[in-house]
Chains A and B, each alone.
Chain A
């Protein structure tokens, strides 16, 4: 039927197909594709907040300036640290939790799934403000507990100290990132062909061997997907920074996403901010491609 469509049917399929697509396309082209194109275009201009003035084309000037901007380079570095730390931790943690819970009874399973997903649902603002209180220098529970346990002897200003601030941010990020991967791994593990696992066990494979030889290859597509979404998420870490540290102290927690926000909304340099956005998008695309290749080779 697909190959041998009559011209009349083909026309019919075209018209009805696009009519069904139309409402969605209007939103997609108008509020996703168009701004994406504008992001790329304005990154070559001196665009500012005002949409009425004409933007002047300045070629690669924004990109050259980025290359020499110490704050941007610091932000890029911090962002890479966040990604390099959080992506493996999230993957390993969620794989462990998922493999510990996926054979449990339905009720217990969904209890754990819900609990690990709760920080995501709670919302970044609510989560951030409560952590800010827990990290607080005077009334925070972290200082209280660690002093009680004898780990530290005087209060630490967690978010105000360049030594600890980024680590504190990453810890919160981790708690809000494992929910989705756990759900995905639970579903992937329960779909693993159990006859293969049984056959391997009959052949004398122990648990570890059965996991790496049989289950791991089968959940590989899920792992790849989790790697990519976690990478994107970590790159976009914003609310935590904006509400907790504003990139401080002394740029210790400055990330690319926060710097884009700062450039666009405090300095009103849209063109410059968009140039960073383009770099960020290229970074994410490149990383996803690398992860894809690695996973394919395995």
Chain B
């Protein structure tokens, strides 16, 4: 330890021990979900908890997958083969998160570029509006959104969740921060070389803001996957639910079968945790960039 690191050795050991204990406590709920999903009903319903399942069972997942069934897809009168409801929920969720991610990244990258590098009239007012909207509680707009979506014929449709997610201005803000870091000379040099606006964006700007787009992509994917409130008010019929919403519904109906509910919770949580672990570098970057001058 160099002297600059300062604090005494004793304090450092103490804080490391506290950190490890805290880390274990923060990991515990996840551990409890996964092991709970593999426990027998007898183990779950015993007042003495089993810290490690004495007997492993797939019973909870079997019940989960036999619970409801839904068609794989439904386009007009064309109906796909029947699959377990939980799988359908997972497919809905992946579709929703991927669509929200692609649309947000595409629109926000373009808008961020324009706000950072284009000198158009009304730029300052527009940017202030975006920052002001970000500071407001998102949930406030959800009630008016319901009526808007029903008049658009999108109520109880997964797009009713996707469209407002794309509209949320955080992405534009983040992309503007990234685009501002790119030297204006590069953009201008490209224009002098005779490239049109679109080529300037796709060939010069986009490759340079790619790390930012990556951060925004993972950020949007995870937030959209977990945006329970929006999903709750927009989606109602059983085959349109997302995985979080499906688990919440199941929980309301079978509130005492904790094994079943933990199986559902693992199905909702594990895919998104894996995605997070793979892309966590980008994610950290997105969080910090979004805060600069926030």
Query: Which chain A residues have a beta carbon within 8 Å of chain B's beta carbons?
Result: 2, 5, 10, 13-14, 16-21, 23-25, 27-36, 38-39, 42, 47, 49, 51, 97, 100-101, 103, 110-127, 129-134, 136, 138-139, 141, 143-144, 175, 180, 183-184, 187, 194, 197-198, 201, 207, 210, 221-222, 225, 228, 232, 235-236, 238-239, 242-243, 257, 260-261, 264-265, 270, 273-274, 277-278, 280-281, 284-285, 288
Contact = CB atoms under 8 A, between A and B. Distances in A.
B287 A184 contact: yes
A197 B135 contact: no
A88 B230 CA distance: 28
Contacts of A111: 23
Given A112-B23, A122-B29, A225-B291, A28 B172 contact: yes
B45 to A, nearest CB: 6
Contact of A126 (B113, B166, B269): B269
B75 to A, nearest CB: 25
Contacts of B293: 221
Contacts of B136: 36, 281, 284-285
13 contacts: A10-B119, A13-B119, A16-B118, A16-B120, A23-B110, A31-B166, A32-B169, A34-B148, A47-B147, A126-B269, A144-B49, A201-B4, A201-B6
Contacts of A201: 3-4, 6
Nearest to A27: B167
Contacts, number: 280
Given A18-B120, A31-B164, A180 B287 contact: yes
A215 to B, nearest CB: 12
Interface stretch (B54-62, B63-71, B79-87, B273-281): B273-281
A255 to B, nearest CB: 11
Given A27-B163, A32-B169, A207-B6, A101 B19 contact: yes
Contacts of A184: 287-288, 291
Given A33-B133, A134-B32, A260-B139, A119 B110 contact: no
Nearest to B267: A126
Contacts of A114: 276-277, 280
A49 B5 CA distance: 61
Given A38-B144, A119-B29, A125-B228, A133 B36 contact: yes
Chain B contact patch, size range = 35 or more
Given A13-B118, A112-B19, A124-B226, A36 B140 contact: yes
Contacts of B186: none
Nearest to B151: A51
Contacts of B90: none
Contacts of B106: 23
Residue in B115, B121, B287 with the greatest tally of chain A CB atoms within 10 Å: B287
Interface string B90-126: 0000000000000100111011011100111101001
Given A39-B141, A115-B27, A280-B137, 19 more contacts: A20-B197, A49-B147, A100-B19, A116-B23, A117-B280, A118-B27, A121-B276, A125-B247, A125-B265, A129-B265, A139-B44, A139-B49, A207-B6, A210-B6, A236-B139, A243-B248, A243-B251, A270-B147, A274-B144
Contacts of B29: 119, 122, 127, 130-131, 134, 175
Residue in A117, A133, A239 with the greatest tally of chain B CB atoms within 10 Å: A133
B30 interface: yes
B49 A141 contact: yes
A130 to B, nearest CB: 5
Interface in B2-24: 3-7, 15-16, 18-19, 22-23
B158 interface: no
Contacts of B142: 35
Contact of A36 (B5, B26, B141, B197): B141
Contact of B143 (A29, A260, A285): A260
A270 B266 CA distance: 35
Residue in A123, A222, A225, A284 with the greatest tally of chain B CB atoms within 10 Å: A123
Contacts of B172: 24, 28
Given A119-B29, A122-B30, A17 B137 contact: no
